[in-house]
Structure 1
Amino acid sequence: MTSAVAPRTQQAAVFVLGRRWRRATLILHIIAGGAWIGIDVMVAVLVGTGRFATDPELRALAYRALAAFVVWPMLTSGLVCLATGLVLGLCTKWGLLRYWWVAVKLALNLVLCTLIVVALEPGMDAVAAYGRGLTTGGEAPNEISSLFFPPAVSLTALTIATVLGVLKPWGRIRRRRPAAAIGPRQREEAP
């Protein structure tokens, strides 16, 4: 009687979270993602108000509010999402780079957080200055005309991340086995 041991197909999590901690981390992850989406909706409303409102004082207020209140709450919610996502990836069966949907969500989060710091935050001084000078008829800087893109890109990416988190599509990421792990017969048959 021989017993065959099936090869282990999944790596164990780095540290296994207990049920309560996993749920608490998942809840915090969902809340941070919801806050991030809410902040993006607020940005879209402020951008729309700044662009299409007829009252110059209301437009000025919208731009000043964008400059004062958008970057740090958005970055904070993005980093909380990133941190809780890393904990969930490292401490659950999903892993960080084991499933395509997790890897794509991780990449989206990293790209969006980077864009906040690199593309959005540096232009906020010009947006605030334009908001202060709007009632006097100041010229709109380039940062104003491109304000449509941050909420559009971010809301699209966050919607994709939400759908991926719910549907969990595409399956596992296949890893290539090293040449040493391939048996001699398989090596002869390889092209």
Structure 2
Amino acid sequence: MTTTRDATPPAVRDARDGRRLPRRWRKAVLVTHVVSAGAWIGIDVIVAVLVLVGWFGGDVQVRSLAYRALATFVVWPMLASGLLALVSGVVLGLGTKWGLVRYWWVAVKLALNLVLCTLILVVLEPGMGAVGTYGQELLDGAPDPAAVSTLFFPPAVSLTTLTLATVLAVFKPWGRTGWGRARRERVEGRA
């Protein structure tokens, strides 16, 4: 079996299909994107484990430690990994044929990332003080369960959303957006 090479110079091929990033840079940014998204998922798993230990851990000291760890260590690493996934995703979108809004799966992933990062700042972070206080109050014997009654939702929502984003990245459903179809028609009209 023989393969034929495209005689078109790489710069022309790259411009034609919308790629702007050199291959090595694209791969480096893609690795950054995948690793940061994986870290985000890992941090969410840790959050879920800490919430479950806080709820069902038998020893009061262990439960208290789980809540205090949530309050102290979760928000900023989660936000940092989310923002790194966002920035690397934007760079990939701008520097590859996929674009930011040419394909539905990319646009939806972008929107999901923006929503999750916003929720971290607007919903999760402001409540962490109360979670830490609850952890301390567990040791003192006078906790207010309202402070942790909704802690199930952040890891459940985030893990579900990040799993959906991963599925979108693998299967790339739904085709082109209106902008993507218009761009394709312009490019093909010139070719």
TM interval, shorter chain, is: 0.7 to 0.9
Note the C-alpha offset of 1:12. Answer: 6.8
Partner of 2:47: 43
Distance 1:155 1:96 in 2: 23
TM-score by length of 1: 0.83
Task: Specify the structure having the higher radius of gyration (Cα).
Answer: 1
Q: In structure 1, how many angstroms separate the alpha carbons of the residues matched to 2:82 and 2:162?
A: 10
1:11 Cα shift?
Answer: 8.6
| Count of residues in Structure 1 that have an aligned counterpart in Structure 2 | 168
Q: Find the counterpart in structure 2 of residue 69 from structure 1.
A: 73
User: Is the CA contact (8 Å cut-off) linking 1:97 and 1:173 kept in structure 2?
Assistant: yes
Uncovered stretches (5+) of structure 2, i.e. residues with no partner: 1-14, 183-191
Structure 1 position 37, deviation (Å): 0.2
C-alpha deviation, 1:139, in angstroms: 2.6
Find 2:23's aligned residue among 8, 19, 39: 19
2:137 maps to which of 130, 133, 136: 133
SS in structure 2 opposite 1:98? coil
Match 1:31 to one of 27, 35, 39:
35
Letter in 1 for 2:98: W
Contact 1:126 1:141 in 2 (8 A): no
Q: Which runs of 5+ in 1 are unaligned?
A: 1-9, 178-191
How far apart, CA to CA, are the structure 1 residues paired with 2:147 and 2:133? 11
Deviation at 1:159, TM superposition (A): 0.1
RMSD: 1.9
Q: Look up the match of 2:5.
A: none
Q: Secondary structure of 2:89's match?
A: helix
Where do residues 162-177 of structure 1 align in structure 2 (5 Å cutoff)? 162-175=166-179
1:150 matched to 2:154: yes
Picking from 100, 105, 110, the partner of 2:104 is 100
Q: Which amino acid aligns with 1:95?
A: G
1:88 paired with 2:92, answer yes
Q: Report the structure, 1 or 2, having the larger helix content.
A: 2
Find the residue that maps to 1:147 and give its secondary structure.
Answer: coil
- The AA in structure 2 aligned to 1:174 is G
In the other structure, the counterpart of 2:3 is: none
Distance in 2, matches of 1:142 and 1:101, equals: 38
Give, in whole Å, the separation in 2 of the partners of 1:58 and 1:141. 16
**Do 1:29 and 1:84's aligned partners in 2 also have CA atoms closer than 8 Å?**
yes
User: Partners of 2:94 and 2:69 in 1: how far apart?
Assistant: 38
Change (3 A) 1:151 1:133: same
